[in-house]
Amino acid sequence: AAVSRVYYHEPLEAKEVPINPNTLVVGGGIAGIQAALEVADSEHKVYLVERSPSIGGHMMQLDKTFPTLDCSACILTPKMSLVGSHPYIELMTYSEVVEVSGYVGNFKVKIKKKARYVDESKCTGCGICMTKCPSKKIPSEFDVGLGNRTAIYIPFPQAVPNKAVIDREHCIYFKTGKCRACEKFCEVKAIDFEQTDQIVEIEVGSIILTTGFSLFDPTPIYQYGYGRLDNVITSLEFERMVNSAGPTDGEIVLKDGSHPESVGIIHCVGSRDEKYHEYCSRVCCMYSMKFAHLIKEHLPESDVYEFYIDIRSFGKG
């Protein structure tokens, strides 16, 4: 009977709906930047939303990329500049998507633009405000806490947009009602302590999610000593240390300022482990071999030890 019923079936009616040609890209790392450029180059409007004050993501923090050891910033900064000047890309940094409604091809999106307390149209990125700010020992998110920044800051010199932002949580004026040094020394009068968060509504037909990754916190794995012993660092902390534009000017140093005579690199931290993630991360073999190259490049006399379960280096070459 079930088979016989098929004889009476009629094809579903094809329905056509108008598609909004605009695209929203959520996340301003290398994936979001590349996606935004490819869509925008076809002359379609793109809204690129990034929650940090600048696009660039984790790739901007890296020193070299495997397997070729090409300079990470050399690959990324030209793309960032293209995004910043592209006529079909509207860049919305320091912003987050708070609501999506609608249906396929026709979405309505609410985006929260957080207050920078700096007028982007006036700020020239000169950096005078940062040199005058008395709050100078705030751990830098870009340098993963290895370096410091001020309460008003530009995340890194190549930031796009190259505009300052005030960290309300650490700003002396917002905590005590006094200071405003940045406002006094800003020659273009870009500081605006009265700014408030804004909700912007846009309409798009497509949404691309390129929200990136978070680094695994190895603190709970007690035997590795991260957070408990000096000179145990994560991969991203090492990237900032070995980077010539990093907090140590590219010097691989111990906490006492000396150079290490030997370095151990531990693979599979938090992966291939039923207590954390049972799967293979698929990146740390190549990542660790890149680190070995960089260590030997900076410290030719040092010994490098690789502690691994299996070598599973993926990808061509």
68-82 pLDDT, tens per residue? 899 999 999 999 999
Query: What pLDDT score was predicted for residue 317?
Result: 65
CB count, 10 Å around CB of 35? 19
Query: What pLDDT score was predicted for residue 314?
Result: 84
Strand partners, 165: 153
Query: What pLDDT score was predicted for residue 316?
Result: 75
- The residue assigned the tokens 């002359």 is 43
Ranges of the chain whose pLDDT falls below 70: 317
Burial 233-247 (b: 16+ CB within 10 A, else e): bbbebbbbbbbeebb
Query: What's at 48, amino acid-wise?
Result: L
Query: What pLDDT score was predicted for residue 68?
Result: 87
Query: What pLDDT score was predicted for residue 315?
Result: 80
Query: What pLDDT score was predicted for residue 66?
Result: 86
Query: What pLDDT score was predicted for residue 170?
Result: 96
Question: Can you give the C-alpha Rg of the chain in angstroms?
Answer: 24
Yes or no: say if 152 and 182 are a contact pair by the CB < 8 Å rule: yes
pTM of the model: 0.90
